Amino acid sequence: MNLENYFPVLLFLLVGIGVGVVPQILGRLVAPHRPDSQKTSPYECGFEAFEDARMKFDVRYYLIAILFILFDLETAFFFPWGVAMRDLGWSGFLIMLGFVLEFAVGFWYIWKKGALDWE
């Protein structure tokens, strides 16, 4: 077993740990640390944390977030397709055309349902 082959892995781990840990240590040492009641209070999704649990809230915030994630993931398929377009040929083009059509129909559907309207 040749340990020289594992040097890039060790280097990758050390750089990853350095990038993750060193800024935190520098921030703790250099940044001012003056907590107050506003900074230490819990905050989630734009709602006060200690209100009535049965209060009404606007679901559109979550709907927009879910739709963003859905369409963001779908558009991520365009990049590898664009790179491999010459290798895929006409069959790959037609398959992706069907995907784009499905993508457009889904976008049209949520638009007509009013899911993107923020009144």
Task: Classify residue 114: in a domain, yes or no.
Answer: yes
Task: Classify residue 32: in a domain, yes or no.
Answer: no
Distance CA 71, CA 74 (A): 5
Domain containing 117 equals: 57-119
Q: For residues 58 and 77, which has the higher predicted lDDT (pLDDT)?
A: 77
Q: pLDDT tens-digit profile of 78-105?
A: 888 888 888 888 998 898 899 889 888 9
Cβ 19 vs Cβ 11: under 8 Å: no
What's the domain count of the chain?
A: 1
Task: Classify residue 99: in a domain, yes or no.
Answer: yes
pTM of this structure? 0.44
Which pLDDT score, from 0 to 100, does residue 35 have? 81
Which pLDDT score, from 0 to 100, does residue 117 have? 76
Q: What is the CATH number of the domain that holds 76?
A: 1.20.58.1610
Q: pLDDT tens-digit profile of 13-66?
A: 999 999 999 999 999 999 888 888 777 776 666 556 566 667 676 777 777 788
